[in-house]
Chain A
Amino acid sequence: MNILVCISKVPDTTSKIAFSDNNTKFDTNGVQFIVNPYDEWYALVRALEIKEAQGGKVTVINVGLADNDPTIRKALAIGADDAVRVNVDPQDALSTAKQIAAHAKEGGYDMILCGKETIDYNGSQLGGMIAALMDQPYISYASKLDMNGNTATIERDIQGGKEVIEVATPFVLSAAKGMAEARIPNMRGIMAARTKPLNVIEPIEASNATEIVSFELPPAKGDCKYIDAENPGELLELLRSEAKVL
């Protein structure tokens, strides 16, 4: 199996979120960047497991500038064989998907995996867009993926439950909890990652279908109103009369 895994560089989960330039730019000051957890824990690790069982190759792809390279090296340290970076600053999901699809059309991949969403823009967009651009089936929110020859058996979340489906390669999938357990890179992996190929390719022409005009922080939370544990019934009274949610 020849597998392409899309990885995004995102701020660490615990980052303080702040904006600069009159709330138009994310303030990266003091922010630590990581591989998007769903791309790493679920998509990449499951791709590696399939490769280990059946042979083949795992390539990671990222759209971004040279300052993304340390994040890409982390994916190589976990076990990807090589990496591709499309040398453009991503501003929008559709243009990013076009960059990845342009590479994937040349690459002859059996499957393309990504995480269910990124933890920065929470779009859940990329995988479906790549699938449509490649005219391949898209399986979203997959929690299990098993290969039998060229046929995949996949469990996916649908509204109101889960569904088991079968699909032949090639396909595109977004990975959710249950796919695999996170792996921590070992010293050997980290050393090997330094010399694995990281190929930088130039972007195709693709305009931004959307743009962020400004950011806004939610209003500060008021103080918690405490209710006496001896008389918790008062809570329900307040939820009805004050908060008006009951």
Chain B
Amino acid sequence: MSTIVYVNTNKGNVNKASLEAVSYAAQMGGEVIAVQFGDADSSELGNYGADKVVKVALNEFQPDQISKTLQKAADENGADTFVLSHDFSGKAIAPILSAQADAGLVSGAVALPSGDGTIKKAVFSGKAFAHMKINTPKRVISVLPNSIEKKEVGKSAAESSMDAVAASASLTVKEQKMESTDLPLTEGEKVVSAGRGLKGPENWGMIEELAKELGAATACSRPVSDMDWRPHHEHVGQTGVAIRPNLYIAVGISGAIQHLAGVNQSKVIVVINNDPEAPFFKSADYGIVGDAFEVVPKLLEKAKEMSFND
């Protein structure tokens, strides 16, 4: 069995989610061919289990072209499985691949295929899981970011390159607005998030400081992004982004069901709220009932003392 992994790069680096996809494929067994789009140091790909790295000099995000190039790599290597991250790139490419290869797609896998070949994924916005079976000879699996433990195996992969396949369904890219943050929210293993309880955008300094001290990304609730207190890409919840960090700290967020839909798969949830009746406490692992303006500065002081960010 051979597996093609889609590897995506940003600012000259391989995305962390792509490394997870490579490790997922390696843990499935068989030969792993990582097809990397865009120029970046690819040495980590072998470390996480790639046997071969194929570099494609295509920097624009052209889903049809990327999909057809992945198919060609699969044909050349006799691969029958495609693995991608279920991030924005994977969400665009996986369904195209699936239809072009007539291969069943399981998107947002949270575990390796089990003994009977079924793959577990979250459904009903994180309120349940489904075990899915793929009926076609070829298969496509997209892996939910931060759900698979990636394993270092210390291989060094053989490198080669290939040309991108020409595609009919292309787009003209006019402008890119990349986020300035070093730690994209969807890749953050720790996230500090705040809501309306903070009363105004001028009070976010302490949230940003705490996040920095913990090595965490920052996020916010929907009302906060709707009122433009914080940028829209920070909005987590049903209509915003769904995240699955190891640690989610929610400050001044009541925990409406729509917010929970975006964060309920976090491994540990901490809720800080001055209202003991806030529904979020029901989903929390740890809670502090108290005024954010008193609690957060004390947390910050303690975090500095414990110096997590070394």
Question: Interface on A for B, CB 8 Å cutoff?
Answer: 11, 13-15, 17, 19, 37-38, 92-94, 97, 119-133, 135-141, 153, 157-167, 171, 176-178, 207-218, 221-222, 224-229, 231-233, 235-240, 243, 245-246
Contact = CB atoms under 8 A, between A and B. Distances in A.
27 contacts: A15-B124, A120-B123, A124-B91, A128-B99, A129-B98, A131-B95, A131-B169, A135-B169, A136-B169, A159-B17, A162-B233, A166-B172, A209-B103, A209-B136, A210-B106, A213-B132, A216-B130, A225-B286, A226-B287, A229-B290, A229-B294, A231-B298, A235-B270, A235-B299, A236-B302, A239-B270, A246-B190
Given A140-B92, A212-B132, A215-B128, A233 B302 contact: yes
B306 A141 contact: no
A163 B299 contact: no
A160 B135 CA distance: 34
B306 A236 contact: yes
A214 B131 contact: yes
A224 B63 contact: no
A231 B235 CA distance: 30
A11 to B, nearest CB: 7
Contacts, number: 278
A19 B135 CA distance: 23
B88 A209 contact: no
Given A228-B288, A232-B290, A236-B302, 19 more contacts: A94-B102, A124-B86, A124-B108, A127-B95, A129-B99, A131-B95, A138-B169, A160-B10, A160-B178, A162-B176, A167-B172, A211-B135, A213-B132, A214-B118, A216-B130, A218-B127, A227-B288, A235-B288, A246-B214
Given A135-B168, A165-B174, A121 B286 contact: no
A128 B92 contact: yes
B133 A210 contact: yes
A94 B98 contact: yes
Nearest to B67: A132
A47 B98 CA distance: 27
Nearest to B239: A177
B280 to A, nearest CB: 9
Contact of A123 (B107, B169, B303): B107
Given A210-B133, A225-B285, A229-B295, A122 B92 contact: no
B287 to A, nearest CB: 4
A119 to B, nearest CB: 5
B291 interface: yes
B27 interface: no
A209 B294 CA distance: 55
Chain B interface size, as a band, is 35 or more
A88 B66 CA distance: 33
Contacts of B132: 210-213
Interface of B: 8, 10-11, 15, 17, 61, 63-64, 67, 86-89, 91-100, 102-108, 116, 118, 120-136, 168-179, 184, 186, 190, 214, 232-233, 235, 238-240, 246-247, 257-258, 261, 267-268, 270-272, 281-291, 294-295, 298-299, 301-303, 305-306, 308
Contacts of A129: 95-96, 98-99
A138 B92 contact: yes
Contact of B173 (A131, A165, A228): A165
A121 B98 contact: no
Contacts of B247: 239, 243, 245-246
A125 B298 CA distance: 45
Contacts of B129: 215-218
A97 B104 CA distance: 12
Given A124-B107, A164-B174, A165-B172, A119 B268 contact: no
Nearest to B127: A17
Contact of B176 (A38, A92, A138, A163): A163
A171 B172 CA distance: 13
A236 B243 CA distance: 22
A219 to B, nearest CB: 11
Contacts of B289: 226, 229
Contact of A210 (B11, B104, B120): B104
A163 B62 CA distance: 12
Given A233-B298, A246-B247, A97 B170 contact: no
